[in-house]
Amino acid sequence: MSPRRGFRTLGSVFSRRTLVWVAVIVVVLVVVDVVLVALALARTAPSSNGTPGPVPTFSSSPRSPGSATTKPSGTATADPAGMVAPGRRLLSAVDNRDAWRASSGVCGGAEGVLEHTVDGGVTWTAVGFGPGTGAILALRSSTDGVSLIVGEGDDCEPTVRTSTDGGRSWHAGAAGTAGAGIGPDGLVLSNGIGDSPCVDPRAVYQGEQTTAVVCDGTVQWRTGATEWVPVPLKGVRSIAVEGGEYTLARTGADVCGGVQIVSMPASGVTPSTSATPVGCAPEAEADGTPALARSGSAVWLWAGDDVLVSNDGGTSW
């Protein structure tokens, strides 16, 4: 064998081996690439977590009034709609900013509604008045607190309740602290139920010694348990007291198109006792039953949907 031929044989063998290794490496790289791609796809593929649940839905419809959560008694809530309970209107003032009002409700029927204001009647807040509530027969407030006569149950049993923390809690009150009221069986007084001097009394006030009842066309007055003294006076709807005189809210007066404020003595009353005009609230609604309250020179008038305040004893509004 010549040296040249041997060289060609070695070169041919080397070339074939090189090609084989190159092919093996390429195959390995392809396999590795396939494996990596498969792993990547497996990692990003969506997984199964069982049967999917229903898609949640949301509604923005307002909640039905019947589904509203009932607040516990004594909880204050805003009352933008105003008073809704039927019955008589009651009003009591602490000063020219602080006052309480109530729509009495009906014994054995609609419960009373109690509200409180501390901004001169601009806004009112509904206040609960204890468990087992019923009709509100009387209301009286002062700097010491607020007291009610509540007619409980179908029999409208009168119970005095007092709060000294703005209506957050209530306890049994003393007789007379809530004033006098009108119940289905007569006048609710500090000493029990008394006969009314008229069939349909509109308002009643009881002081330490005297009592006054507003009737149709008259104001009936007496001291202690003596006979009633009728004072002819038409159109009187509500009564308040300050010192030694009554302050009365009157409708239908020729000199006042709204609600007229008059005064009369609270003692020594006779059938000839006269009433003295004090002022006129011309914008006050005269229909229905206006409610009146007084504390010092501050006089409050609740007529229709409006509550008016006078700072000069009812002369101007």
pLDDT exceeds cutoff 50 at 69: no
* Contact status, residue 63 vs residue 92, Cβ threshold 8 Å: no
List the end-to-end C-alpha distance of the chain, in Å, as a whole number: 140
Q: pLDDT for 252-295, tens place per residue?
A: 999 999 999 999 999 999 999 999 999 999 999 988 789 999 99
Name the more confident of 46 and 200.
Answer: 200
Q: Work out the pLDDT band at 17, boundaries 50, 70, 90.
A: low
Q: Work out the pLDDT band at 164, boundaries 50, 70, 90.
A: very high
Total length of the chain: 317
Segments making up each domain of the chain, as ranges: 69-183, 196-317
Q: pLDDT for 105-140, tens place per residue?
A: 998 889 999 999 999 999 999 999 988 889 999 999
Q: What fold, for 196-317?
A: Neuraminidase (2.120.10)
pTM, full prediction: 0.73
Averaged confidence pLDDT in the chain: 81
Phi then psi for residue 281, to 5 deg, are -105, 85
Residue 239: left (phi > 0), alpha (psi -120 to 50), or beta?
beta
Q: What is the structure's pLDDT at 119?
A: 98
Q: Residues near 122 by Cβ (< 8 Å), separated by ≥ 6?
A: none
pLDDT exceeds cutoff 70 at 26: no
pLDDT exceeds cutoff 50 at 45: no
pLDDT exceeds cutoff 70 at 12: no
Q: What is the structure's pLDDT at 151?
A: 95
Residue 91: left (phi > 0), alpha (psi -120 to 50), or beta?
beta
Q: What is the structure's pLDDT at 86?
A: 61
Q: What is the structure's pLDDT at 36?
A: 53
Q: What is the structure's pLDDT at 114?
A: 98
As a whole-number percent, the residues of the chain with pLDDT over 70 amount to: 73
Mean pLDDT of 41-48: 41
Q: What is the structure's pLDDT at 30?
A: 52
Q: What is the structure's pLDDT at 82?
A: 38
pLDDT exceeds cutoff 70 at 226: yes
Q: What is the structure's pLDDT at 155?
A: 87
Mean pLDDT of 98-107: 95
pLDDT exceeds cutoff 90 at 104: yes
pLDDT exceeds cutoff 80 at 42: no
* Contact status, residue 191 vs residue 170, Cβ threshold 8 Å: no
Mean pLDDT of 140-147: 98
Q: pLDDT for 199-223, tens place per residue?
A: 999 999 999 999 999 999 999 999 9
Please tell me the chain's helix, strand, coil percentages from 3-state DSSP, rounded to the nearest 5. 15, 35, 50
